[in-house]
Amino acid sequence: MPNTAILALEDGTVYQGRAYGARIVRTGEVVFNTSLTGYQEVFTDPSYTGQIVVLTNPQVGNYGTNAGDDEATTPYIEGLVVREWAESPSNWRSDTSAEQFLSRSNVPVISEMDTRALVRKLRMGGVMQGALSTAGHSPEELIAMARNAPSMAGLDLATRVSTKERYEWSAPVEPCCPTDIVRVAQPGTFHVVAYDFGIKRNILRCLASIGARVTVVPAGTTSAEVLALNPDGVFLSNGPGDPEPLEFQAAQVRGLVGKTPVFGICLGHQIIGLALGGKTFKLKFGHRGINHPVLNYRTNKVEITVQNHGFCVDPDSLNANEIELTHINLNDQTLEGLRHRSQPVFCVQYHPEAAPGPHDSQYLFDDFAAMMKEFKK
């Protein structure tokens, strides 16, 4: 019979449920994701470093896990909060249960939670620090741990999760969405240098699908080192933490503007915003899910997007004479995309590579290919 698990928030609120996963205590920022599927991709997204994730879908673990759905080599979430934990997965692709998958990576799970009530609390009061124990800690101990946990604001987590060594993406060229029949460009058409701030595997697949040979570099790589690799374009990846401490990375992007095409997503978008003179701010409870509507100002079309971020670029901090605002979130009017008016630089706050989610925004990879082709002339 599963043991008792306790989740405590920094405001003193305590929740009790059933324990699954590892028998351990972990702290982190408690956030929620509204996706109906793709829990394994959430587990293995490095952007969730430092966060305890609440999944609003009522049943989690029902289709198990498999190596093909990993977005990184290991789970990055600090802990997991669910309504119902499926102990017996059933799916032909499953090679291990979600229980085993998280247990071997020391991730605790609390189940039989009223996740609707918890999400309402986070939406009304904002995300906060929490402590999750499946190892017998008292509520008082966990409240103290939550209150002493570092705030996400001001944390540089991107350099922590980044690759330590440069490497080539050597997987076979394939469609970035394996379930789709999509065009795959001739391999080696472009050479893209990708900054790893917490990069997802499906991003690499999408870059390969436009014909890119991808060299992945650590977060601390200088612009001079990147340019010495003679790229046709530079990609800035997603990643965890606060963008403001990444002053070094923003300075490197400034050194790349005008010398090579630059495309960024999520944290990469925020770093580009900082590099172009903008500022960022923390959202009350962030955007995490696979159904966020975004208006593309250039096409006047609405895209349903995948999102996972807690910070945004302040559009009022950008120079309108130099920067075009290209996308906006229709839920809260926050900035979702921008483009330099005279240089080959563009970025979006959301995830066009999806995995899982709608594929409305995959055209952005083709836009990057077109920009690199034009810059070559």
> What is the set of active-site residues?
266, 351, 353
Residue identified by tokens 């900035």 is 335
Classify residue 250 by its DSSP letter: H
What letters, b where the CB count within 10 A reaches 16 and e where it falls short, cover 76-90?
Answer: bbbbbbbbbbbeebe
Cβ–Cβ under 8 Å, residues 218 and 193: no
* Angle (nearest 5°) at CA 234 between 232 and 235: 135
- How far apart are alpha carbons 110 and 4 in whole angstroms? 8
Cβ–Cβ under 8 Å, residues 201 and 70: yes
- How far apart are alpha carbons 338 and 348 in whole angstroms? 7
- How far apart are alpha carbons 70 and 200 in whole angstroms? 9
- How far apart are alpha carbons 237 and 264 in whole angstroms? 6
* Angle (nearest 5°) at CA 30 between 357 and 104: 75
- How far apart are alpha carbons 235 and 190 in whole angstroms? 12
- The burial class, CB within 10 Å (0-12 / 13-18 / 19+), for 1 is exposed
